[in-house]
Structure 1
Amino acid sequence: MKFSSLLTGALMMGSAIAGAITNTDAVPADSSASLDKVVLPITTANSRGASAIEPKVITKVIMDKANDVLTSTPLAGLKRHRRRTPSTSSIEPRALPPLRWPYANSAVKIRGVSLGGWLVVENFITPSIYGQTNNPHIIDEWTFGSLQPRSTAIRILQQHLNSFMSEDDIRQIAAAGLNHVRIPIGYWAFEVGNGEPFLKLNQWELLKTAVGWCAKYGLKVLIDLHAAPGNQNGFDHGGRRGVNAWAGNATNVQRTVNILQTMSREFSQPKYASSVTALELLNEPVTDRNVVLDFYQRAYEVVRYPNGRSSPPSPLLVVVGDEFINPAFSDYWNDKLRPPTYEAVSIDSHIYTIFDDNALRLSSQDRINYYCSLKPKWAAANNVHWQMVGEWTPAFTDCAGGINGRNRGSRYDGSLKGSRGRINSCAQRSGDASTFTAKYKRLLGSMWEAQVDANEGGIGWLMWTWKTEAKAAEDWSYQKGLQYGWIPRDPTKRPNGIRC
């Protein structure tokens, strides 16, 4: 699960939301949420497990609470020009070749979850995987394969791969009224180079097995290449924390293109017509924008035409990560990857508001208002490319154990090195959902409703994540949200009355 885009900000939306939830939840009275103006930096280091990465500010969002104005500063190094938004009918002709999901139908929304922590391991989702190593220096899949006996590593990881997700999980997802599943996979499922300690086991076969389960229960699948050779962002879920060497190595970029071609050749086949609808080229690249854009163009070619231009084009939607240059606040993407050269392209934005001290100090009402302020922005962006929000969470603290990286603390309770100081206790704000108070569950439900409603301003959403290990980060679990009631059984319902 992943990474932040627009860290924070809030736009007062008036009486439609005001009063729906109180401001007595998480923040002290002297926090920045009480100021008339709050400046909130959007950085490239606001992801799960990213606390060791030096943040780079890419823009700032300013909330003027007194005047109900939300603005952003220009993105450094990007050409600014007037947003030119095509008419609302301009997307429809792009559905060439015929796609497997009606993205142009505004009445049909993607509603789904990611199978996070399965084929790409994340400590905060499955802490027992790293816990079994008894080695605090094992913090990602690189060190998992290099700092313990290989036979031990294979035994632990294989047991996890074969048991963490099952057909019953897919049945439960379908029963919850969802229609999509996003499945992250790392490049090491396909090939491992010399000196790379990653474990190539049966991840690729398990991915195809899961796709079969999804077809059985009527779920559509977005396949997400979550980690590339050399790591495209420096985060632990990119494979190796603190290393961001993908863009500087042409061989690694080409390896990534080759893997995408392999996946497109497989999933473009007619036997997957009822299941796989989309392929995401690369999760959360945070690196040289020119390299990423060139890669996207090359990868598009092999995904759209996996068997060459002389063969029929792939019916898969091509999904590109926004690099945290968010279409809600930037027109960077308006003239990129557009028809007629590039057909059926979607932009994926990830929204988290918990990996920054200022963001954590927002009152619940201001956080909801911020989410809701994005709805018309997603609708406008959707007129340029199909716009999805492929990662987000109802959690509004970083209290989940390991969320900032293994053996690291939380900004919320002040235990993370470099944080501004304690905001509040993390007790009963993550971990075992059976300990959550009714008030906390109501707040989680309100955050869920606000984001679901706002994210349907585009083509839809996929929450991070479906499940976690028992008693670990259960505020992030869609499954536990259903069990304990902060997520409704029908994703179109709003029990707390939060509508943007």
Structure 2
Amino acid sequence: MLAHDEREVEGEGLVRPSAAKGLGSEDNPSPGGSPARTRKIRQRKLLVSLAGLALIVAIIIIATVVTLRKSRLGDSGAANRADGAIVTASGDLLKLWGGNGDKITTDNGTTFEYRNPLGGTWVAVPFNDTAKPQADSPPLNQPWDYSNRRILGVNLGGWLVLEPFITPYLFEPFSSHDADGKPSTVVDEWTLSTALGDKLASTLEDHYRTFITEEDFMQIAAAGLNWVRLPVGWWMIETWDGEPFLEGVSFKYFLKALQWARKYGLRVNLDLHAVPGSQNGYNHSGKLGSINFLIGLMGVANAQRTLNYIRTLTQFISQPQYVNVVPMFSVLNEALTQKIGVQQMRSFYLEVYQMMRGITGYGAGKGPMMIIHDGFQGTGAGHTGWGGYLKGADRIGLDTHTYFAFDKQSNDSLGYNSFKPCTYWAKGFNQTNTDFGFNFAGEYSLAVNDCGLWLNNVGVGSRYDGTYPNTSGPDTKNFPKVGSCDPWEDYRTWNADMKKSIADLAATSQDAMQNSFFWTWKISRSVRTPDVKPNPLWDYQLGLQQGWIRPDARGSVGACGVIAAQQGATAPVQPWAGRFSDWQTGAGSDAPRTIDPGQLALYGQWPPTQILVQPGGNGAYPDVNNLPQYTPTGTPVILKPDPPSPRDSPATASVGPGSGWANDADRAGWYVPIKDCHYPDPWAAGGLPAPTAPFCAGTAPQPAKTSPPRPRRR
């Protein structure tokens, strides 16, 4: 028999019985009453006793249910129900998990309907990993089978790292007229941050808050997609003097992204999209212009700072609270390997690998899979490919970005374009899966030419219509006009046949590459064309709404064979029929992996033995040890989140949000400038002559043990 303490259920909507009754009441009659009245009193007392017994039994049952529910959901201060709902103190009924047709209440109080006809589920319990995006997709708390399951993903580009062609509305107030040929001075997040001045914080936080919302994550799952790729910049962690970016604020929305991904069962590929010095000189690296990462006089120093940020992010996402949600970490986006150097990049990636696995350990579930970008060297093996690189290493994947838009411009038919992914890409991805390991497309789009607003940078025209680099000075010799961009930009004119061909292209792209992330989920509106969104072939959400992307991405399986049959072509040998080795996916033992000794001999020197003076140049600095470097004696920056608030979820978490630092044994210092040392501009040091002796009078930076790191930012 269960013992029961009424205190367990106080405050849960039950009234505790009074311990005393007034004298002369029916329950305590005065002596000397009539026999009939006495019988009635006894009957009433019997009924009251039975009712009391029933009440006690009910209280026991309710208390047991409440206790069990609290053990699962945490003490929320609200009455919990067995149907996945709670009753708040104000009497509102809020569900904590469910499926298609449910009403979702967001953290700002707005509501929307969970529309997912694909059998997906949502779970609003903090740090609960049981949601799944579709009925046939494993929940987050089950491992992903990289050999047999397909990643059907989408990027959240332009959200936490800005790009003018994705969010033109932010840049248009500062842009000059394209037709006058005068380039705008606001061309990237660096110059936009400077131009916004004291409006930077309010402008960007409003963008973070509104551009991507919880409903977007629901829609992604409902579209048959199962992963998202989330680009972030280093300024989410910290900035140094002279860097104008908004420091730290995007971390708040990074946490929301992980919360929403968890809620709707989506896995996250975290992508470090921008690093100090710029790894490619593109506007989406934070600063348009020259490359100063691992090249030029400050190349090693900028790479050391980048190691700081990779380390902090690895520590954060390797915590038990996040490891299921973020199983993949793309450590550096689109480094231009052909300009920085193959040897240099491969040495850097080996250094990153050793640092990461020193934090996470080895084997599936021990931190994320480490993803490296192919540096635009392409898929496949050979001296320009990645076959055999770090063979035996624990969980390294290769990211390839596949775009037709930046190839030679053409007027190929829509039908021919729809089959191109099958003939251009399928073989290479299959070969890389065999020669290297897990290979996927981290970016692709449906654009078959470079038409679009600012696709080639702010104020720059298109090769396709002969306006490149601008209308007042087009380079028609090298980029002759192929056609008009108007039909490609105004989707209101697209007929059913054109939409079908584009939908076929989307399906064959996903099928040929097998694992892929579309670039990007959405494009903002432009003040120049308020009635039509710009760059439609880069907008997955718009494609779903307008019908040139089919509503369930899972239907892309086998698309190459279907389109081949329709066109009388030969389908490629596809999909890949192999299975990845245990060391490639982390299966089997969690013991340290053995890397091919030949690879360690080739790339084990850090810093690399040579650093090029100029991007793509033949000259190298004679002695890397003389180049400016930072010293690892600082205190690491830790990303420490606040606990989820009741606005995030009405259920209180049974576990905390984590300290931000998964491995307390990692006590190495943080790369910081050497005291009293005056460094060259880290953004403009390419081509500068090297010192003839170790920089700053021979203060050679060596790894130093420090006290356990303390949080510097929430």
- Report the TM range for the smaller structure's normalisation: 0.7 to 0.9
In the alignment, which residue of structure 2 is the partner of 1:288?
A: 341
Equivalent residue letter for 2:563: I
Q: How far apart in 2 are the matches of 1:300 and 1:180?
A: 23
Q: How far apart in 2 are the matches of 1:439 and 1:379?
A: 31
Q: How far apart in 2 are the matches of 1:451 and 1:312?
A: 29
Q: Which of structure 1's runs of 4+ aligned residues deviate more than 6 A?
A: 309-313
Q: How far apart in 2 are the matches of 1:313 and 1:100?
A: 10
Tell me which structure has the larger Cα radius of gyration: 2
Q: How far apart in 1 are the matches of 2:371 and 2:270?
A: 9
Does residue 498 of structure 1 match 2:563? yes
8 Å CA contact 1:183–1:223 kept in 2: the answer is yes
Change (3 A) 1:161 1:400: same
In the alignment, which residue of structure 2 is the partner of 1:444?
A: 502
Matches within 5 A, 1:69-84: none
- Equivalent position to 1:128, from 169, 181, 184: 169
8 Å CA contact 2:418–2:501 kept in 1: the answer is no
Q: CA deviation at 1:446?
A: 2.2
Deviations 1:91-149 (A, max 9, x none): xxxxxxxx97434432x111110001101111111100111335631000111123x25
In the alignment, which residue of structure 2 is the partner of 1:220?
A: 267
8 Å CA contact 1:221–1:278 kept in 2: the answer is yes
Q: How far apart in 1 are the matches of 2:551 and 2:315?
A: 36
Q: How far apart in 1 are the matches of 2:551 and 2:266?
A: 16
In the alignment, which residue of structure 2 is the partner of 1:112?
A: 153
Q: How far apart in 1 are the matches of 2:325 and 2:270?
A: 11
Q: CA deviation at 1:306?
A: 2.3
Equivalent residue letter for 1:124: F
Does residue 348 of structure 1 match 2:396? no
Greater RCO (Cα-Cα under 8 Å, separation 6 or more)? 1
Equivalent residue letter for 2:191: T
8 Å CA contact 1:306–1:314 kept in 2: the answer is no
Change (3 A) 1:306 1:438: same
Q: CA deviation at 1:429?
A: 1.0
8 Å CA contact 2:153–2:229 kept in 1: the answer is yes
Change (3 A) 1:426 1:360: same
8 Å CA contact 2:317–2:367 kept in 1: the answer is no
Equivalent residue letter for 1:105: S
Equivalent residue letter for 2:508: A
- Equivalent position to 2:358, from 305, 310, 314: 305
Equivalent residue letter for 1:179: N
Q: CA deviation at 1:270?
A: 1.1
3-state SS of paired residue (1:371): helix
In the alignment, which residue of structure 2 is the partner of 1:321?
A: 373
Change (3 A) 1:328 1:370: farther
Q: CA deviation at 1:176?
A: 0.7
Q: How far apart in 2 are the matches of 1:377 and 1:142?
A: 36
In the alignment, which residue of structure 1 is the partner of 2:539?
A: 477
Deviations 1:353-398 (A, max 9, x none): 1113x24344445544442122133122112210111110112121
Deviations 1:152-196 (A, max 9, x none): 233322211121100000000011111100000111111212222
Deviations 1:269-320 (A, max 9, x none): 111243111000100000222221111111112222326x699983311110
3-state SS of paired residue (2:343): helix
Query: Once structures 1 and 2 are overlaid, which stretch shifts more, 402-411 or 327-336?
Result: 327-336
- Equivalent position to 2:432, from 381, 387, 397: 381
In the alignment, which residue of structure 1 is the partner of 2:277?
A: 230
Q: CA deviation at 1:335?
A: 2.2
Equivalent residue letter for 2:455: I
- Equivalent position to 1:455, from 513, 519, 522: 513
8 Å CA contact 1:410–1:416 kept in 2: the answer is yes
Does residue 411 of structure 1 match 2:463? yes
8 Å CA contact 1:100–1:273 kept in 2: the answer is no
Q: How far apart in 2 are the matches of 1:213 and 1:103?
A: 22
In the alignment, which residue of structure 1 is the partner of 2:314?
A: 264
Change (3 A) 1:252 1:425: same
Deviations 1:310-361 (A, max 9, x none): 999833111100001112364531121221xx211110000001113x2434
Does residue 243 of structure 1 match 2:290? yes
Matches within 5 A, 1:140-155: 140-146=188-194, 148-155=195-202
Q: RMSD across aligned C-alpha pairs, in angstroms?
A: 2.5
In the alignment, which residue of structure 2 is the partner of 1:468?
A: 523
Paired positions, count = 393
Change (3 A) 1:444 1:312: closer
Does residue 360 of structure 1 match 2:407? no
Q: How far apart in 2 are the matches of 1:224 and 1:186?
A: 9
Change (3 A) 1:270 1:396: same
Change (3 A) 1:302 1:209: farther
3-state SS of paired residue (1:265): helix
Does residue 401 of structure 1 match 2:453? yes
Q: CA deviation at 1:472?
A: 2.0
3-state SS of paired residue (1:284): coil
8 Å CA contact 1:400–1:472 kept in 2: the answer is yes
Identical residues among aligned pairs (%): 32
Equivalent residue letter for 1:321: H
Q: How far apart in 2 are the matches of 1:123 and 1:464?
A: 14
Change (3 A) 1:365 1:152: same
8 Å CA contact 1:306–1:313 kept in 2: the answer is no
Change (3 A) 1:370 1:310: closer
Deviations 1:194-222 (A, max 9, x none): 22222214112211210110000000000
Query: Once structures 1 and 2 are overlaid, which stretch shifts more, 150-159 or 359-368?
Result: 359-368
Q: CA deviation at 1:473?
A: 1.3
8 Å CA contact 2:414–2:498 kept in 1: the answer is no
Deviations 1:449-477 (A, max 9, x none): 22111011xxx111111111131212211
3-state SS of paired residue (1:226): strand
Does residue 422 of structure 1 match 2:481? yes
Q: How far apart in 1 are the matches of 2:482 and 2:362?
A: 60
3-state SS of paired residue (1:225): strand
Q: How far apart in 2 are the matches of 1:189 and 1:465?
A: 21
Equivalent residue letter for 1:424: G
Equivalent residue letter for 1:441: K
Unmatched tracts of structure 1, length 5 or more:
1-98
Q: How far apart in 1 are the matches of 2:143 and 2:550?
A: 24
Equivalent residue letter for 1:454: A
